[in-house]
Amino acid sequence: MIKKDINTTTTNLYTMRKNIVAGNWKMNTDLAETQDLISGLKKIAKTSNAEVIIAPPFVNLYSAFESVKGLDITVAAQNMHQSDSGAFTGEISASMLKSIGINTVILGHSERRAFFNEKEDLLAEKVNTALENDMTVIYCFGEELKDRKFSEHFEVVHKQISNALFHLDASAWENIVLAYEPVWAIGTGETASPDQAQEMHAYIRKTIADEYSEDVAEKVTILYGGSVKPNNAEEIFSKPDVDGGLIGGASLKAEDFMAIVNAF
């Protein structure tokens, strides 16, 4: 069941949460470049126990999925439509993704919000569709610079999470990964300081504990995204509530991406 039942209480025992490093390739990499980048990833040993996810563009998902077979890498989509099928020219459904082996989807990235006008009511629908299709959702959110300047960043993040996710049943959170990505740090070379990231991640975890339970909050993986590079990953990942990263620019170079994976 996906929708929240207010009588539900969680009784699961605490288990360690997963560390994840996910590469969001955005609108980069044609077919040959996809293959080259995956070949590069194959050549570099993974020395950490972080789960590795790559998200190439739609057209190359199937080829990427075939190429990573036998490797410890999950292939994810960068977006999907909320409907199962129909007259939505140019769109891709959950069942299409599932049919080529894709079980993970990034939703709510700030570029989707800014350039494609995706709002939380739509994102809530997309989340529901993904979960109904047994997919894992990497749900992205984060404040803009003006929000931080006016000290509204906690409030903004609270709304972004609650509006899109707080209708869910506690059990649905097993398939939710959060990605806090302050918009001012994406692709800018500006990173939130490790302390700023930790402060927000701790706030997010507390927000989930208050709405659901300590158990749900302790188990949810919260990624940080925004100019994570090989030279800053280790310090950011060392923070107790930072469980990994969503990596844009640096995921397009195999050496840099694997250095970040191995920063754990």
247: contact with ligand PGA by CB under 6 A: yes
Contact yes or no for 250/208 (Cβ under 8 A): no
Which entry of 109, 120, 153, 201 is annotated as an active-site residue? 109
Give the residue with the Cβ less far from ligand PGA, 216 or 226.
226
Pull the structure tokens for residue 43.
């050549």
Q: Which of residues 143-162 bind ligand PGA (CB under 6 A)?
A: none
Min. distance of Cβ 29 from ligand PGA in angstroms? Answer: 14
Q: Is 158 part of the annotated catalytic residue set?
A: no
Q: Which of residues 165-204 bind ligand PGA (CB under 6 A)?
A: 181, 186-187
* Residue selected from 20, 21, 24, 254 as contacting ligand PGA according to rule CB under 6 A: 24
Min. distance of Cβ 191 from ligand PGA in angstroms? Answer: 8
Which entry of 111, 120, 143, 181 is annotated as an active-site residue? 181
* Residue selected from 80, 164, 192, 246 as contacting ligand PGA according to rule CB under 6 A: 246
What number of other Cβ atoms are within 10 A of residue 187's Cβ?
A: 13
Q: Is 109 part of the annotated catalytic residue set?
A: yes
Min. distance of Cβ 251 from ligand PGA in angstroms? Answer: 7
Residue 199's φ and ψ, nearest 5 degrees, are -60, -45
Min. distance of Cβ 228 from ligand PGA in angstroms? Answer: 6
Q: Which of residues 222-241 bind ligand PGA (CB under 6 A)?
A: 225-228
Min. distance of Cβ 69 from ligand PGA in angstroms? Answer: 25
Position with the least CB separation from ligand PGA: 248
Pull the structure tokens for residue 135.
């997919």
Binding segment for ligand PGA among 38-46, 155-163, 243-251, 254-262 (CB under 6 A)? 243-251
Binding segment for ligand PGA among 80-88, 120-128, 220-228, 236-244 (CB under 6 A)? 220-228
The residues carrying an active-site annotation are: 109, 181
Footprint on this chain of ligand PGA (rule: CB under 6 A): 24, 181, 186-187, 225-228, 246-250
